[in-house]
Structure formats: C-alpha cells, structure tokens
Amino acid sequence: MRQILLTAASALVVLAACGPAPAQPGQAAGAAAPVESRPANASSQKPALAGQTRAPGLNSNTVGQYTTVASGLDHPWGLAFLPTGEILVTERAGRLRVVGKDGALSPAVANLPAVYASGQGGLLGVAIDPDYANNGLVYWAFSEEQDGANGTSVARGKLSLGPAPKLDNVQVIWRQAPKMKSSLHFGGRLVFAKDGKLFVTTGERSVRPGRVQAQQLDGTLGKVVRINADGSIPSDNPFIGQAGAKAEIWSLGHRNLQSAALDPQGRLWTVEHGAQGGDELNRPEPGKNYGWPTITYGQEYSGQPIGDGLTQKAGLEQPVYYWDPVIAPSGMTFYEGDLFPALKGSVLIGSMAGLNVTRLVLKDDKVVGEERLFSDIGARIRDVVAGPDGAIYVLTDEGDGKLIKITPKG
C-alpha cells in the first residue's frame, strides 16, 4: 500500500498541489475542496474564525484491512485496553464484557449496579485506572434511575478475570445532578488525565430545563466534570469556593459530549453533538463557557433558530471547529502509532451519521485538513481507540455490533 506521511505542515503543501477549488464557507480561496459538499442546514450562519468549518480535504491513501475481533455485541458503546492484553467493551443494554487475548468473548461481568437502559441511556464509557497493575480498578459511566428520574453516574470496582469475570468493592463515585425524566443526552466518556484526575463528560438531557442547566453552575448537566479517582473533588478545580457552584465542574455550556481524548501534550479535547448542525470540536479549559444553548452553529430539528440564533457572544468560547451538516460524533483518539505513518499526529473521531472515521489534522490547535476514512465498514462507528499495537480499533453501533481491528491493507 502506498502511504504518504502527511504532517500538519506538509499537508498544506500537498493540498496546494491539488489545484484550486471553489471556496466554501470558512475555507480560504485556492485550497483543496472540503470533504463536506452538502449545503449547511443553518445556511445563514457564518464561521467566526477562518478555517473553523469545512477545512481543506485530505487524501492519505489509507486503506484498511478489517479483522472482526468480536461480534454479537448489543450496541457496544465503549472500549478500553487492559495492560494484560484483554479488552473491556461496554454494551448499552447494561453488560460489561471482556474480550480475551484469543478473541473469546466473556459472559457479562458480574456485580454491576442497575443500569437505566432506555433510548440513549445505558452502559456507556469505560476507563482503566492508571495504577491498574496494582489496584485492578476499572471505571464506567452509566445512566442511573432514582425516584423516577435519571442521570449519568460513574462507578468503579476491582476486576477479577477468568471464565466468570466479576467486579468487587463496587462504588458509585459520582452522580449527575439534578436528575431529569429523559432518555437522551447522557454524555458518558471517561478520560484519565496524566495527573490521575478523571474527566467525565455529560449531556444536558435534551429537555428544555436541561438546556437551561447547561449555562448554570448549580448542576452538572452539559458540563465537563473533573474528579479524583475516588470521586472526591480536586482542590484546584476552577469553581472551588464559589457560592452556588458545583465544585466538580471543569467547563460548562456543552450539549452532549460523547467524544473525549487527551492529546500528546496531555490536554483534553472533546467533540459534542449539535442539533441540526453544530457538532463541535473543543479543547475545554478550566472555568470556560462553551456557549450551548446561547450560541451554536446549528438549528432546531424543526428548522427554527435555537434561542436567538446567535453564533457569537462576548464571554462565550468559540469552538475550534464545527460541522454542519453533522457527523454525529462518538469516540475519539489521537493516533500516535507506527502502523499508519500517514495518520500519525491525527485526531480520529467516530462518525455515526457518516458511517466512517473522521480524521482531522491540527496545526497550532487549529484544524488544517479533514479526511473521511474506513467508510467501507458500512456501519455507525460508536468508538475509536488506538491500540497499544498501533492498530485502530472501532466499535460498530448495531444490534449485532462488532469490535473491529483495522490494520493497513496491502
């Protein structure tokens, strides 16, 4: 297979050689045509920043070889690699499974707390304790029902492997508040920072009261949350000591955060679902407000403006990048492996609407190119993770969902 090493710097040189193409909104004249050619839903909206949407299209000539590692999964949602070589996979219906080094799929791991599995709710993201080799702890996000309402929760337990895997000393270490009656927008990604703190992404539950909560500090709907591994609150969180504010909040003004990953510098990046348009790539910083629903690059599913139809407002952060139409993001990784040299340094994002893996190239924290990969899988991509072996692993969001290992073809 012919592979081209496209670094962020060299990408622009290759693009220039492709010849001029009609400029699209947010695209410099003379750049390669973007991969998105459909008209925007919110056609009257314009990006605030150059290159904020419809970046120049890339072609890395990457072709994947697909190996099904496990199948028969009921809408798998999240995956994580154990240091011992096994893979943990969550199924939205409420089961945690272990994929053995030989590809064998375990029965459901015992002793999980009750999961509210309805609509978009269920068993969601999964993460491995950085000190797993010594403590055996794993963490998972799930939707939990209490007193007729529900919300996102995070639990942890000590994993015992074997023919009948189980969790011991299970604790729910964090619960979203307030809870609401909704089966939508739970967020649910878990990311351990390099300092051992745990980032939790949430949704604003889609209902109108939840939208309001995304802009308020007295609740954790529509937020990035930062906690210690035991659920306690880090002393350097941005709203510590502020009256009426939830101390675990890291950033606010988000809609439904289902993609989250650390970059090679250890900084958190997220992608959140927009409505009809307005999927956003952000690098959430402590204490900052990312705007939803006051500003957004999208519109209601009815075609009406969201709120006052604003895309900019003083004091509210602009997204690094946005999509309209949406890609429906879920799961992301920064690829630093050696199997795909052409992808090294890229951001890979699962796209459920596009049935592909969306690739972004960043330079100085801005998107300078976009590519759509592995569309011949032909399924909604719910999670994408760079494996320790350099392969790319994806989960397909289906009733007969699959864990697929992607290696170079040829």
| Residue 213: its H or E element | helix 208-213
pTM of the entire structure? 0.93
Rg (CA), the chain: 20
Nearest partner of 23 among 50, 3, 61, 59, judged by Cα: 50
Report phi then psi at 133, rounded to 5. Answer: -60, -25
Q: How far is 114 from 94, CA to CA, in rounded Å?
A: 8
HEC readout, 93-112: CCEEEEECCCCCECCCCECC
Q: Tens of pLDDT along 353-403?
A: 999 999 999 999 999 999 999 999 999 999 999 999 999 999 999 999 999
Q: Tens of pLDDT along 384-398?
A: 999 999 999 999 999
Domains of the chain: 64-355+373-408 (2.120.10.30)
Tens of each residue's pLDDT in the chain, 410 residues: 333 333 333 333 333 333 333 334 444 445 699 999 999 999 999 999 999 999 999 999 999 999 999 999 999 999 999 999 999 999 999 999 999 999 999 999 999 999 999 999 999 999 999 999 999 999 999 999 999 999 999 999 999 999 999 999 999 999 999 999 999 999 999 999 999 999 999 999 999 999 999 999 999 999 999 999 999 999 999 999 999 999 999 999 999 999 999 999 999 999 999 999 999 999 999 999 999 999 999 999 999 999 999 999 999 999 999 999 999 999 999 999 999 999 999 999 999 999 999 999 999 999 999 999 999 999 999 999 999 999 999 999 999 999 999 999 98
Sign of CA dihedral 262, 263, 267, 271: negative
Q: Tens of pLDDT along 66-85?
A: 999 999 999 999 999 999 99
- Number of Cβ atoms within 10 Å of the Cβ of 101: 10
Q: For residue 161, what are the CA distances in angstroms to 99, 105, 110, 137?
A: 11, 12, 11, 12
Catalytic residue among 75, 185, 254, 273: 185
Nearest partner of 346 among 10, 32, 1, judged by Cα: 10
Helix (H, G, I), strand (E, B) or coil at 203: strand
pLDDT of residue 12: 34
Quote the DSSP letter at residue 375.
G
Q: How far is 303 from 86, CA to CA, in rounded Å?
A: 46
pLDDT of residue 31: 66
Tokens representing 341 are 């040299």
Question: Does the annotation mark 273 as catalytic?
Answer: no
pLDDT of residue 410: 80
Contacts of 210 (CB under 8 A, 6+ apart): 180, 182, 185, 203, 204, 221, 222
What DSSP assignment string belongs to 5-61? Answer: ---HHHHHHHHHHT------TT--TTSPPPS--SPPSSTT---SSTTSSSPPB----
Q: For residue 252, what are the CA distances in angstroms to 105, 113, 147, 248, 277?
A: 38, 28, 26, 11, 20
